[in-house]
Structure 1
Amino acid sequence: MNPAFNNLSVTQLRVLATLLDVRNLSHAATRLGASQSALSRHLAQFREAFGDPLLVRQGRQYILSERGVELLEPLKQVLEQLQALGTPSRFSPATCERRFAMAGSDHVAEHILPQLLADLARVAPNVSIDFRPWEANRFDWLASGKVDLATSMIEDTPAEFHGRVIGEDVAVCCMRSDHPLAAQTQLSLEQFLDWPHLKISTGGDKDSFVDAYLRKHNLHRDLKLTVPYYSAALAVIQRSDMLLMLPEHIARKWVEQADVCWRPLAFVRHPFRYWVVWHSRTHSSAEQQWFRTFVYEHCRGSQFLSPGEQLPVYPA
């Protein structure tokens, strides 16, 4: 390797990791708080040090060279290890100043975030949260660092990820309270197919099991509308004949706040498992360990509290 490599500082290696990850000088400059011209000079030095272009222009964009691809993940790991060396062995939420990125549905945002933030203000007042809508199976967001953890319905966690089960639930069919099917104790296949349907696209996978069952029997439902938010779906079913597949614990909450009801399906039963899930790269971080436990306890308490259980108490 070129002797120029020996002169690269840890700060420069962080710059290199950002350039390889973002693959855009302007965006990397914004993230690092540096000028684009300074990053151009850094890139020239990195190319000399590694004897490789690293970033190759293709049209108006950059792509990684083969050497750049080889360097990216090892470089991230080295920088994470160096950061861990400087992390205090004793972690205190009261002095943590980190901004965590959390993903979930708008239902999580509505029913869990308010109490979570109230407790956070007392135990970790300098911690901030970026909440983002979770899309089914977007584990690459956790791998890239776009989000630190996700709360969602997941069949199982992939090998590179860790997860903790919040609770279990079953799928039910939700509708307005005066819907003709509300008089039924459970819905037959024929009744289910006689009416139009609505689907919530964000969050975990709530109803593909129904479509898989129907395909197996050469049937299909009339899917009239797909929306990204639980709140929008609730508004729609109250004013239409549409049916909506939903986890039972959410349907029960809706019954308390709106003129809707729910019924189980007679022809298929599907259990859900709710997880807090994170990537291996954050598994050993003291800050991340604290935050995911904090989120887990609030999710567990808000959604799946059993009779006799109580929410955790967070002292000031």
Structure 2
Amino acid sequence: MRFNKLDLNLLVALDAMFTLRSVSRAAEQLHMSQSALSSSLARLREYFGDDLLVQVGRQMELTPRAEVLQEAVRDVLVRVNTTITATPHFEPARSDREFRIFVSDFTMSVLVPHLLVLARAQSSSVRFHLLPQTRQPQRTLEHGDADLLVIPHEFCSPEHPIEDLFKEEFCAVVWDQSRYAKQGAISLAEYQAAGHVVMQPPGMDRTFEYTFMENTGIKRRVEVTTFSFLAAPFLVVGTERVATVHRRLAKEVARGLPVAMLDMPLRVNRMAQSMQWHKYRTQDPGLVWLRDLLHQAVARMDAGIEAVDESNRQK
């Protein structure tokens, strides 16, 4: 098919080469020979009157014209793919669809198990592919690499729809034999003087709580960094270190770890954990089902936490 004398099939090849910055890897992904893809690149260069990709050292780089084209080409392909693959109805009991969800290990630990239980009650064949954090999560939507993001509201893109799922508080987690645990509290001066375990997301600059501390002017002595929210409480055991942890996650790990949860010595804004999807897929029946199921999962998660809290109060 041609549009303005351009073979639109070439856009798929162009998108793959833009993404992978490699003719050989793009050819492998598209199940084409390298010579065939090189021929396609030559036709694209002739059409646009630009080299598009140029060899710089051992890798290929996009030309300024290609940088302009990259997002437009991806946008067109995502819109076409969304239109073609959309179905008028979604029946979870009959679907074998795979949902690709971008989540942190915090969300994966406290919320996703409830999502899976609810999904299993409706379907035995729907699949979930949980994707790790990236530096620019919105690009996973725009590139069609994720169906849904579950991230703090402030990290969401203004270009796509957002729904808040729940609010999250933070607490200080310490070893239950530490001096802070024995005194039952930690002052702001002690908090700032203590050694800290801080989560540094792989491929990302900072977390919600790190940004908050920096903006508030709170100085911490970071002694350990980890790539996992879930690991942070484990890393304070046997030490006098402090980890600032999502309260829901802290409650989960405190059931099996020798740690104590202390109130923060300063007021930390609650984090809005949100979900976001591509604007072209708002009416996708499968995603409508998934978004509703996530809200149900939040209710199930919090009902379970409340039941445990009530049981602990009665002991």
- The 8 Å contact of residues 154 and 205 in structure 1, kept in 2 or not, is answered as no
1:213 alignment counterpart: 216
1:77 alignment counterpart: 75
Q: 1:169 to 1:106 in 2, by over 3 A?
A: closer
State the SS of the aligned residue for 2:186. Answer: coil
Separation in structure 2 between the aligned mates of residue 181 and residue 63 of structure 1, nearest angstrom: 53
Separation in structure 1 between the aligned mates of residue 100 and residue 148 of structure 2, nearest angstrom: 7
> Which moves more between the two structures, 17-26 or 64-73?
64-73
Task: Note the alpha carbon deviations across 1:26-84, whole angstroms, 9 max, x for none.
Answer: 22123212222221122122233334333233333323334433433333333333334
With structure 1 as the length reference, what TM-score do the two structures score? 0.79
CA-based RMSD: 3.2
- The 8 Å contact of residues 174 and 259 in structure 2, kept in 1 or not, is answered as yes
> Residue 179 of structure 1: CA displacement?
1.7
1:50 alignment counterpart: 48
Aligned amino acid, residue 269 of structure 2: H
- The 8 Å contact of residues 153 and 205 in structure 1, kept in 2 or not, is answered as yes
Separation in structure 2 between the aligned mates of residue 71 and residue 45 of structure 1, nearest angstrom: 16
Separation in structure 1 between the aligned mates of residue 76 and residue 107 of structure 2, nearest angstrom: 35
Separation in structure 1 between the aligned mates of residue 288 and residue 20 of structure 2, nearest angstrom: 27
2:163 alignment counterpart: 164
> Residue 120 of structure 1: CA displacement?
4.1
Q: 1:240 to 1:83 in 2, by over 3 A?
A: same
- The 8 Å contact of residues 5 and 49 in structure 1, kept in 2 or not, is answered as no
1:15 alignment counterpart: 13
* Identity in percent: 22
- The 8 Å contact of residues 175 and 262 in structure 1, kept in 2 or not, is answered as yes
Number of positions where the alignment pairs a residue of Structure 1 with one of Structure 2: 301
Aligned amino acid, residue 24 of structure 1: S
Separation in structure 2 between the aligned mates of residue 109 and residue 270 of structure 1, nearest angstrom: 22
- The 8 Å contact of residues 177 and 261 in structure 1, kept in 2 or not, is answered as yes
2:311 alignment counterpart: none
- The 8 Å contact of residues 166 and 300 in structure 1, kept in 2 or not, is answered as no
Aligned amino acid, residue 65 of structure 1: T
Separation in structure 1 between the aligned mates of residue 275 and residue 3 of structure 2, nearest angstrom: 44
> Residue 294 of structure 1: CA displacement?
3.3
- The 8 Å contact of residues 102 and 149 in structure 1, kept in 2 or not, is answered as yes
- The 8 Å contact of residues 4 and 49 in structure 1, kept in 2 or not, is answered as no
> Residue 131 of structure 1: CA displacement?
1.9
Q: Note the residue ranges of structure 1 that are not aligned, 5 or more in a row.
A: 309-316
> Which moves more between the two structures, 238-247 or 111-120?
111-120
With structure 2 as the length reference, what TM-score do the two structures score? 0.80
State the SS of the aligned residue for 2:172. Answer: strand
Q: Please give the residue correspondences for 1:113-128 in structure 2 after superposition, counting only pairs within 5 Å.
A: 113-120=112-119, 123-128=122-127
2:300 alignment counterpart: 301
Separation in structure 1 between the aligned mates of residue 126 and residue 28 of structure 2, nearest angstrom: 22
- The 8 Å contact of residues 168 and 271 in structure 2, kept in 1 or not, is answered as yes
- The 8 Å contact of residues 162 and 277 in structure 1, kept in 2 or not, is answered as yes
Task: Note the alpha carbon deviations across 1:243-279, whole angstroms, 9 max, x for none.
Answer: 1111222222222222211111233333221112234
Task: Note the alpha carbon deviations across 1:213-263, whole angstroms, 9 max, x for none.
Answer: 345xxxx33211011123422222122211111122222222222221111
1:101 alignment counterpart: 100
Separation in structure 2 between the aligned mates of residue 14 and residue 96 of structure 1, nearest angstrom: 27
> Residue 192 of structure 1: CA displacement?
1.5
Q: Note the residue ranges of structure 2 that are not aligned, 5 or more in a row.
A: 308-315
1:236 alignment counterpart: 235
Q: Please give the residue correspondences for 1:52-67 in structure 2 after superposition, counting only pairs within 5 Å.
A: 52-67=50-65
- The 8 Å contact of residues 102 and 150 in structure 1, kept in 2 or not, is answered as yes
> Residue 97 of structure 1: CA displacement?
4.5
Q: 1:303 to 1:151 in 2, by over 3 A?
A: farther
> Which moves more between the two structures, 143-152 or 255-264?
143-152
State the SS of the aligned residue for 1:21. Answer: helix
Q: 1:48 to 1:287 in 2, by over 3 A?
A: farther
2:39 alignment counterpart: 41
State the SS of the aligned residue for 1:52. Answer: coil
1:29 alignment counterpart: 27
- The 8 Å contact of residues 196 and 221 in structure 1, kept in 2 or not, is answered as yes
Q: 1:80 to 1:138 in 2, by over 3 A?
A: closer
- The 8 Å contact of residues 118 and 297 in structure 2, kept in 1 or not, is answered as no
> Residue 25 of structure 1: CA displacement?
0.9
1:153 alignment counterpart: 152
Separation in structure 1 between the aligned mates of residue 188 and residue 105 of structure 2, nearest angstrom: 30
